[in-house]
Amino acid sequence: MPAREGRSLGELLLDSDLLVREVLMDTPLMDGRVMIRTWGEVVEAAADLWRAFPEPSPHAGQSERHNSAQDLMKQLQTMNNNLMKASRRSPWPGTGLGDDRLLTVCENLTTAAELLPRRRTDVRPMRPEVEADLDAAKARLMHVLYVGAHGVQVALNRDLRDLTALSATRRAAVPPESRKRTVEARDRVAAFEQLAGSYVAGTFPTALHGEHKPPAEPDRLRQALATWDIQAHRSLSGAPTAGTIALIAQTQAHIAFTSQTLLRAGSGSGAIEPGAYRTRLAPALESAQASWVGLATVWPQLAPSRGRRPGPDLVNAANEIRAATREIIHDRSGLASIEVLAATVDLKQVSRTLQLGLATSADLAYALRESTEDPDLLGSARGVNTMAMALEARGPYGNASTESWVRPVDHAHDRPVALPDIVREALMRAADRAIEGAKTAAGAAAYLSGPNGNDAAKTLGLKPDPLAHHHSQTRALPAATSGSGRLR
């Protein structure tokens, strides 16, 4: 049964697993108080999903293992309830919004629970392959809790270091209650992590070998890219927010990474000409990905804490992009090998699809730059101040200003504020790099499309390539073709 936006239960769990891993790498976005507010909801959603899982068939050894796992989840839920109760009784962490990434995980798990139909195993015994898939789903879910708890713990440790630094410099009075509650929450989340880890140690990633993975849908990636391009342009043509631009940059960075992975596999398997890929396309793809990652890193910091979430159509389109690409490039617990990719999809056909995606990304980069120029575009007061100070410090005279870039009241409440010129100009330079990177990658892919490669390049406004006919024509990327797609 498909999810509302088209993702399966397995895809929702995989997305949640990868999201909590990303939390560990997004150090600038970590805030222990914000994350602890959201963590309780994640655990509750995970417990609801765990209860919704069908019970395995009662046979030797299975019932005891099932009961042990059920007891462990009850323990985790009880620990979470006690932590949340203590948090509500004290001023720390206080009221406010939660972490967007953990909120997305919570939504994924809630949607996944809604997909599970009730099943009576006493009437219809569960087949061995279904039990293996169930074990894999439980292992994936517990891994989400294990890694997520570690991310929350890291964020709380960072808060403690910040509180210690403030106390040492005496720049601000640190309430003793804040330090005490932060330490207490850190220790309790650490205990939660250890308990979840006891289950993960015996199941992950071994249990994932039994995970049911249906064949990739032939036209899903093409349809997902087309839908994403439409929704991203629509979002930028209206009154875009920093959150909208952040999601677009993040998704484009993911598309660039996927293109690298699949085209590298195409080169390794002979689906595209290896020499042309190595000398032209690979460097262009690396540059394009780096430029999109740069935008994807800075814009989330500028998304105000209020009203930062993009529209549902754009979010669903981004979700489908991730699901459609991971359906191809992800294999259980990591990236698929070239051999697995070649056996999973037609790499020549996928290369055609990606060529079209690279072409449209250049236009999207232009649209993003135009949105950055919009004088009505607002950013997070705290993010704007931090970025402006960093830019000023790197200037020719160092950090010579003694005035704040935003009003103290706006900073305290993290209100949306206008972008100072120093910030807007830096963002526009980053957008220019994305434009150049996207154009170069599109041009490199167009020149691999065979006899009409230069014609394809001209449509992108690129100069003819004098080396276009030097590469082999037999294994080149043909021009993108259209076909019937899966409607969302």
Q: Name the packing angle between helices 176-203 and 32-52 (round to 10°).
A: 40
Could you tell me the pLDDT band of residue 458, with boundaries at 50, 70 and 90?
A: very low
* Residue 233 CB contacts under 8 Å (≥ 6 apart), including other chains: 363, 364, 367
Of 184, 210, 236, the residue that ends a domain is 210
Q: Kindly state whether residues 206 and 226 are assigned to the same domain.
A: no
Q: Kindly state whether residues 263 and 325 are assigned to the same domain.
A: yes
Q: Kindly state whether residues 191 and 331 are assigned to the same domain.
A: no
Alpha carbons 283 and 392: distance in angstroms, whole number = 32
Of 154, 183, 210, the residue that ends a domain is 210
Alpha carbons 256 and 233: distance in angstroms, whole number = 18
Backbone phi and psi for residue 363, each to the nearest 5 degrees, phi listed first? -65, -35
Span 157-173, average pLDDT: 76
Going from the C-alpha of 488 to that of each of 4, 6, 316, the distances in angstroms are 9, 7, 10
Average pLDDT, the chain: 84
Strands 416-418, 334-335: parallel, antiparallel or unpaired by DSSP? unpaired
- Structure confidence at residue 11 (pLDDT): 95
Question: pTM above 0.85?
Answer: no
Could you tell me the pLDDT band of residue 413, with boundaries at 50, 70 and 90?
A: confident
DSSP-assigned states of every residue in 196-221:
HHHHHHHHTTGGGGG---PPPPTTHH
Q: Which of the two residues, 96 and 237, has the higher pLDDT score?
A: 237
pLDDT over 90 (residue 164): no
Of 188, 210, 232, the residue that ends a domain is 210
Alpha carbons 217 and 238: distance in angstroms, whole number = 33
* Amino acid in the structure at residue 47: A
- Structure confidence at residue 3 (pLDDT): 42
- Structure confidence at residue 423 (pLDDT): 95
The alpha carbon torsion through 50, 54, 57, 58 (nearest 10 deg) reads: 50
Span 74-88, average pLDDT: 93
pLDDT over 80 (residue 5): no
Helices (H), 53-127: 62-88, 100-115
Q: Which of the two residues, 440 and 119, has the higher pLDDT score?
A: 440
Q: Which of the two residues, 269 and 446, has the higher pLDDT score?
A: 269
Domain that holds residue 139: 9-210
Could you tell me the pLDDT band of residue 459, with boundaries at 50, 70 and 90?
A: very low
Alpha carbons 341 and 266: distance in angstroms, whole number = 9
Q: Kindly state whether residues 306 and 406 are assigned to the same domain.
A: yes
* DSSP state for residue 469 in the 8-state scheme: G
Measuring CA to CA, which residue among 76, 34, 45, 40 is closest to residue 382?
Answer: 34
What tens digit of pLDDT does each residue of 260-284 get?
A: 999 999 999 999 889 889 999 999 9
> For residue 481, is it within any domain?
no
- Structure confidence at residue 117 (pLDDT): 75
105, two tokens: 């995980």
Measuring CA to CA, which residue among 215, 212, 202, 38 is closest to residue 109?
Answer: 38
Helix (H/G/I), strand (E/B), else coil: 70: helix
Please tell me the number of Cα atoms within 13 Å of 381 on its side-chain side: 14
Q: Kindly state whether residues 226 and 203 are assigned to the same domain.
A: no
Q: Kindly state whether residues 308 and 426 are assigned to the same domain.
A: yes
Alpha carbons 80 and 82: distance in angstroms, whole number = 5
> For residue 482, is it within any domain?
no
Backbone phi and psi for residue 196, each to the nearest 5 degrees, phi listed first? -65, -35
> For residue 178, is it within any domain?
yes
Alpha carbons 143 and 198: distance in angstroms, whole number = 10
276, two tokens: 């042309």
Q: Kindly state whether residues 68 and 28 are assigned to the same domain.
A: yes
Could you tell me the pLDDT band of residue 472, with boundaries at 50, 70 and 90?
A: very low
pLDDT over 50 (residue 169): yes
Q: Kindly state whether residues 75 and 156 are assigned to the same domain.
A: yes
Is the preceding peptide bond at 214 cis, omega within 30 degrees of 0? Answer: no
Q: Which of 233-237, 387-391, 411-415, 464-468 has the highest mean pLDDT?
A: 233-237
> For residue 86, is it within any domain?
yes
Bridge partners (DSSP) of residue 379 are 417
Q: How many domains does the chain have?
A: 2
pLDDT over 80 (residue 118): no
Span 365-380, average pLDDT: 95
Bridge partners (DSSP) of residue 349 are none
Helix (H/G/I), strand (E/B), else coil: 45: helix
